[in-house]
Structure 1
Amino acid sequence: MTPQLDAIGIVTSDMAASLAFYRRLGIDIPADADAQPHVEATLPNGLRLLWDTEETLRSFDAGWQPPQPGAGRLGLAFLCASPREVDEVYEALVGAGYEGHLKPWDAVWGQRYATVHDPDGGEVSLFAPSAA
């Protein structure tokens, strides 16, 4: 059997804050999940997003330490319906108090692109094919 990517895990210091951020990006997460130590959401394409609190991770990896700010190695990218939606989603997230990292711009590779940080400093890209 060839391994297949099935899930992406996010370790969070504040479950409710992290889930609120991803709900704003359209991820369907039940409201009662905010107080859980582990949460899963299956996306329309079958890929799963998993959230664990730092305490949950330490329950089986006692030496686990969070990465230093700015040391993220993994980013998530959300496809938007249009360049305008990239701008709108970016502004909505920044307006809600999330940290904007790269304001929307027209990238040389033919996409409208922007980056925000989730509550734990994770990089979240927003993109759409550039207008013709």
Structure 2
Amino acid sequence: MQAQLDVVGIVVADMPRSLAFYRLLGLDLPAEADGEPHVEAVLPGGLRLVWDTVETIHTFDPLWQPPSGGSRISLAFRFGAPAEVDAAYDEFVSRGYEGHKEPWDAFWGQRYAVVHDPDGNGVDLFSPNGQEPEA
């Protein structure tokens, strides 16, 4: 058996707030999507990122409960330059989103930061920093 990853789904408590967060990352999500219970975005390469409200999930899984004790998945978005990571982190924090780890130069050769989306999922922001990783 061989399967291909096609969809990454995010369950959201507040669709407009979640979509606003992901629009800041450059995803093309029309304003009318804010009122929808299910939203899909096709990413470069064909992978789909989808959002479903808690109410939508309950239509087919009435016993679904959000995870407790933190998220179990994170998404990572690559930027073209280290300064873009810093600017993106500052933009998210200035708009009231939770900054989890301020930008730093990671030992693996990337400028890295972590913010949380409105539902507490980790969203990594990174860029190659032009330095070779330490051995």
Q: Please confirm whether the aligned pair reaches a TM-score higher than 0.5, indicating the same fold.
A: yes
Q: What SS is found at the alignment partner of 2:92?
A: helix
Mapped partners of 1:98, 1:39: distance in 2: 21
Normalised by the size of structure 1, how large is the TM-score?
0.96
Q: Is residue 2:77 matched to residue 1:78?
A: yes
Normalised by the size of structure 2, how large is the TM-score?
0.94
Segments of structure 1 that go 5 or more residues without pairing to the other structure are none
Q: What corresponds to 2:86 in structure 1?
A: 87
Q: What SS is found at the alignment partner of 1:58?
A: helix
**Paired residues for 1:101-112 under 5 Å:** 101-112=100-111
Which amino acid counterpart does residue 123 of structure 2 have in structure 1? V
* CA RMSD between the two structures: 0.9
Superimposed CA distance per residue, residues 25-62 of structure 1 (whole angstroms, 9 cap, x where no aligned partner):
00011110001000000012211100000000011001
> How far has the Cα of 1:131 moved from its partner?
2.7
Q: What corresponds to 1:17 in structure 2?
A: 17
Number of matched pairs = 131
Give % identity.
61
> Could you list the runs of 4 or more consecutive aligned residues of structure 1 that deviate by over 4 angstroms after TM superposition?
none
Which amino acid counterpart does residue 102 of structure 2 have in structure 1? K
Segments of structure 2 that go 5 or more residues without pairing to the other structure are none
> How far has the Cα of 1:67 moved from its partner?
1.3
Q: What corresponds to 1:126 in structure 2?
A: 125
